[in-house]
Amino acid sequence: MKEFDYSLDFARIDFRERPDLYRIGRGEQGVLKVEPYKSEILPHWRFATPEQARRSSEEIWQLFSEYLDAEDFVGADMSRKFLQMGFTRARRYANHRGGKKYIGPVPDDRKGRSGAHGRAEAPRGPEDPVKAEAARIFKAAWDRAARDPRYLALRARHRERHEG
């Protein structure tokens, strides 16, 4: 698996026209960079309440299905990443009041990396049941997308053609 390439000029690349430049990467890498998909999916992404999470995950699932119907792997993968991000963000807010996972400033070298980079994790408060339910809703949709047979076939084809 090739790493997500953060050196690309994301402001100028239309990944619908250039799927060969897209790298799946790990987790949510590139979710807020890859156009035109970011602009198509982001307006539907909400996770503050279970009602918002349900509506959001259903709308993003619909986009995921449309991308699959068009055999547009990059769009489908970006939809999957938004579902994953819905889970991780809602879960973070469920665990940490205010959504702050780490204490201290973000190091300048953080771009494209995950983890605390030596920062301490903020103390966990009592779990917020509203955010926990929103996370559960997104997790179910994310798992469903990640197991979808059409998605898996398109992912294998993308890796063979562009990441092999």
Q: How many CB atoms lie within 10 A of CB 36?
A: 14
For 115-131, the pLDDT digits (tens) are 555 666 666 677 788 99
Give the pLDDT score at 97.
67
Of 98, 33, 31, nearest to 60 by C-alpha is 31
Strands (E), the chain: none
Give the domain ranges of the chain: 19-104+121-163
Q: Assess contact for 151 and 69: CB atoms under 8 A.
A: no
Residue 36: cis peptide before it, omega within 30 degrees of 0: yes
Instruction: Report the phi/psi class of residue 2: left, alpha or beta, with left for phi > 0 and alpha for psi in -120 to 50.
Output: beta
Distance CA 78, CA 66 (A): 12
Give the pLDDT score at 41.
98
More confident residue, 106 or 44: 44
Give the pLDDT score at 151.
98
For 91-111, the pLDDT digits (tens) are 988 887 655 555 666 665 555
Give the pLDDT score at 103.
61
